[in-house]
Amino acid sequence: MKPRTVKPFEIISQEGLARATLLHTPHGTVETPAFMPVGTYGAVKTLSPEDLKAVGTQVVLGNTYHLYLRPGLEVLEKLGGLHPLMHWDGPILTDSGGFQVFSLARLKTVTDDGVLFQSHLNGDTILLTPELSAHIQQVIGSDIAMVLDECVALPNSLGTLKQSVERSVVWARKFLEFPRKEGQLIFGIIQGGTNFDLRKQSLEQTSALPIDGIAIGGLSVGEPTSAMLETLEFLAPQMPNEFPHYLMGVGTPRDLMEAVRLGVDLFDCVLPTRCARNGGLLTDLGLLNIRNSVHRLDAEPLDRQCDCECCRHYSRAYLRHLFQTKEILGLRLATLHNLQYTHRFMQQMRQAIKCGMFSKFYHEHKEQLAIAYPNREPGEMVCS
C-alpha cells in the first residue's frame, strides 16, 4: 500500500468534540458539519441539481450498487462519469454497494473474496469484490469513495459482529490495493454494532490504513436510539482528530445534533426526502403530517421561520390539497422544505461552533428535539 498522504481536511474551529471543518475535494470544498441528500440513481427524487443548490446542498450521495446496475459502467464511462451525466458540478460521495447487498439482494454468499448475490432487477449473479467496488466508484468519478464493508443488522450475535469487523478490514485492504484514481478521497468504515470492544478493534485497524476519512457504519440498523448514542459516546474521544468523521444513515434533527456534539462531520439519510414524499414535513416541533384534515382550511405557511420556496409561496391548505390529489408538485415542494430545513439546521450548528456557542445551542435545543423526535424502538431503522 502507498504511504498515507496529507489529508485535504482542515479544522476551522472546535468546541469540545464538535468541529467546524473544511473538506477539500476535486469538485469543491464542503463546510462541515454537513448533510448529504441521497441521490440513489444520480438524482435526488423530485429535485433538479439547481433545486439542490438553491436549498443549500453542498454534496450528494450516489449509490454504487444501483448505478452499477443502471445505467451501468458503459454509459458512465462513455459520458464521463456521474457529474456530467446528472449535471452536478459539486462533490459526490459514493457508498461501496455493501449496504444494498445487505438490504436488497435476495440470495447472497459472503466470503473474504466478496459478496456473490443475485441482482434485485433480473436475478443475474454478480460477484461484488472490493476491487470491483473500487473500480465502479472510479468510473462513477466520485470525489469520495467508500471501501467495501460488511454491514449487518442489529441486534445480532457476537460471532456475526466479530466476523463483520474482521471481514470489513480484509475487504478494506483489498480495496486500497486497487490503483487509486487521482484526487479521489477514500474513507474507511468501522463496524462492530454496539459492542464496545469490537468497535475499538475496528477503529484501530481501520484508522491504521492509508485512508482519508473514517465512517461509522452499522448504526441506525435496528438498535434503539439510546444504544446508538451510547456507542457514539464511547467512540467519540477515540476517533482520530485528523480525519473527517462520517456517520452513515442518520438524519433526524435530534440525531444530527447529538452526533455533531460528538465530533461527527458528515451525514446522509433518506429520511428528509422519503418523509417529504409521504407528507411528513420537518419542523422544530417534530414531523408535521400535511395530509391531516386539520390543515384543510389553513392559510398559514408550513413554517414562518423558513424561507424555502414552499414556505414563501404556499399555504398548508394548498400543500395538503396537492397531496390529496397526488399532484407531483406537492412532493417537490415538501422535499425542498425538508432539505432546506436540514441544511439550515446544519448551518446553524456550524455557525454556533465557529462562535464558541455550540454548547449553548445544544442545551437550548436538546429537550425540545428529544420530544419532537423521540427514541426509536428496537428493530426500527432510520434509513433503509
Please list the active-site residues.
Answer: 95, 268
Cβ(75)–Cβ(81) under 8 Å? no
In 3D space, the residue among 63, 136, 43, 47 whose CA is nearest the CA of residue 384 turns out to be 63
Q: Which DSSP state fits 215? A: E
Closest CA to 164 of 242, 245, 219, 240: 219
Give the total residue count for the chain. Answer: 384
Buried-exposed string 151-172: b where 16+ CB fall within 10 A, e elsewhere? bbebbbeeeebbbbbbbbbbbb
Those residues with Cβ within 8 angstroms of residue 101's Cβ, 6 or more apart along the chain or in another chain: 65, 108, 115, 117, 128
> In one letter, which amino acid is 307?
D
Q: Hey, what's the cell of 314?
A: 404556499
- How far is residue 13's CA from residue 58's CA, in Å, rounded to a whole number? 19
> What gap in Å lies between CA 227 and CA 376, rounded to an integer?
10
Distances (CA, A) of 322 to 43, 272, 291, 316: 22, 19, 9, 10
Beta strands in the chain (DSSP E): 9-15, 18-25, 28-32, 34-36, 38-39, 60-62, 92-94, 108-111, 114-118, 125-128, 144-146, 185-190, 213-216, 245-248, 266-268, 280-283, 286-289
Helix (H, G, I), strand (E, B) or coil at 243: coil
Alpha carbon distance 294, 288 (integer Å) = 11
